[in-house]
Chains A and B, each alone.
Chain A
Amino acid sequence: MSATLPVVASLFGSIPEPMVQWVVWPTIKFVIAFAIIMGIVAFTTLVERRVLGFMQARLGPNRVGPQGILQFVADPIKLLLKEDIVPAGAQKAAYFIAPMLPIIPAFLVFCLIPFGPPPTFAITDVNVGLLLILALTSTGVYGIILGGWASNNKFSLLGGLRSAAQMVSYEVPFGLSIVGVLMLSGSLSLVEIVHRQELGVWNVLPQLVGCFIFLVAMTAEVNRAPFDLPEAESELVAGFHTEYSGMKFAFFFLAEYASMLVNACLIVILFFGGWTLAIAGKGLTTETMQTMGWLGLSLGFLIFAAKVAFFMILYIWFRGTFPRYRFDQLMELGWKWMIPLALVNIVVTGIVILLVRNGGA
């Protein structure tokens, strides 16, 4: 890292080298990444409303700035200035802690995701990266169930429980669908998983079933349409955040959109080759990008961003296209279809890997 930016690195001359490598650089990178991610998350809400507007033959927000493009700045400012209401009878401590619980892991996960060719765009490459990401993202459910319970409201309580039941149910196929990818790449490090794909093919081809399960599970995990039952307005008003206002309300939304972004990044890294555009080691591989210098590195980042943007739009597309599931249908889909399918996928992948090895050798 210090080799690529000698001028900036010399500023830290008096600080010991390990400190620079593990504390200073990651913090700087994270602050930059955090600012960008906050921007993207806020911007996604605007894009969602505009795109949905066009899908439903109406305009959507178009007043603040040209084409309504400044709406994403106006919304957080408005929410920051709103009254922070604590309803009578709420469990105060739990009510305050609940919005923080989903947002911390949702943003923390970004320090484990490589956004482009390492080491420049990877904040830290942990050898059990994928496991840590799964562990962190599944803690988000605590905030939702706690917030629903602490609000002292029937809608909140039911919404929180539904949400928890849904997230927990789809956590299982979410975890199992990744096993096929792990078998193909033999590592839990995201950088290594991308490296395996640029040497062969994108995992989406050998793991089509796994990719499909992952896509469904990741949509259900973040409570998005067609699985947005916790927020089914006609039944539960606003679900678990009915009683929340101001920044606390914004935190639940930020956490949801940040989780969407995390899942979009994950599916790109696990199944669609991450920041590379290469087959069998030919094309734009990580190595090619690193030898091209800053131009190549930025190119890698742009490729990654384009792929992630596609999946973010896909979420919105789903919302504009599919009708909402009923709760029993949703649970049935998760437990009776996705889990057996994921298990069969693991068995079949295991046999095929063995046959290919023996046949090829």
Chain B
Amino acid sequence: MTESFVPVLILILFGIALGAGMLIVNWYVGTHRRNPSKLAPYEGGVPLLDTNRKRINVRFYQIAMLFIIFDIEAAFIYPWAVIYRDATMTSSGIALFALGEMFVFVTLLAVGYIYVWKKKAFDWN
């Protein structure tokens, strides 16, 4: 089955070449008429008073951290979901075990979820 990934690799190269190619064409075909006010950052026509790279609200980082936790949980549940169907086909003992495993997993996730909610991480007012 590893061969089926060969096209994916080829097409990554294809994508990079195409993207770079179109940008280069645009650079050479497009006009170049520069002046200082055209190159200034767009901000309502008034000269800039301060820097544009400021500190960012910590909530954005908070979301990123929450995302990592929940998305990894989702990635972990995929293998279980794929074999669950086969597990229910075999014996009822294994089927119940598979279901129980999922309950444990989702319960752990839910405990963390409720904790985060109580800590007001989901309040954006």
Contacts and interface: CB of A to CB of B under 8 A. Distances in A.
Contacts, number: 213
Given A100-B23, A164-B60, A347-B102, A243 B42 contact: yes
Interface string A117-132: 0000001111100011
A186 B82 contact: yes
Contacts of B67: 168-169, 171-172
B83 interface: yes
Nearest to B19: A100
Contacts of A188: 78, 82
Contacts of B83: 186
A39 interface: no
Given A22-B3, A84-B30, A108-B12, 14 more contacts: A84-B26, A85-B39, A100-B20, A108-B11, A111-B11, A124-B5, A154-B54, A165-B64, A175-B71, A184-B85, A186-B83, A332-B124, A340-B113, A343-B109
Contacts of B41: 87-89, 151-154, 243
Contacts of B46: none
A60 interface: no
A280 interface: no
Nearest to A196: B85
Contacts of B27: 84
Interface in A71-107: 79-89, 96, 99-100, 103-105, 107
Given A168-B64, A186-B82, A343 B8 contact: no
Interface in B98-116: 99, 102-103, 106, 109-110, 113
Interface residues of A, number: 84
A335 interface: yes
A185 to B, nearest CB: 7
Contacts of A30: 7, 11, 14
Contacts of B75: 175
A292 interface: no
Nearest to B14: A30
Interface in B1-34: 1, 3-8, 10-12, 14-16, 18-20, 22-23, 25-27, 29-33
A26 B86 CA distance: 32
A5 interface: no
Contacts of A357: 88-89, 95
B43 A336 contact: no
Nearest to A131: B78
Interface magnitude class on chain B: 35 or more
Contacts of A251: 19, 22-23
Nearest to B25: A80
9 contacts: A23-B6, A82-B31, A83-B33, A84-B30, A100-B19, A126-B4, A153-B42, A155-B43, A354-B95
A103 B15 contact: yes
Contacts of B54: 154, 157
Contacts of A164: 60, 64
The 8 lowest CB-CB distance pairs between A and B, nearest first, are: A26-B7, A328-B124, A247-B26, A186-B85, A182-B81, A175-B74, A104-B15, A100-B19
B12 to A, nearest CB: 6
Contacts of B81: 179-180, 182-183, 346
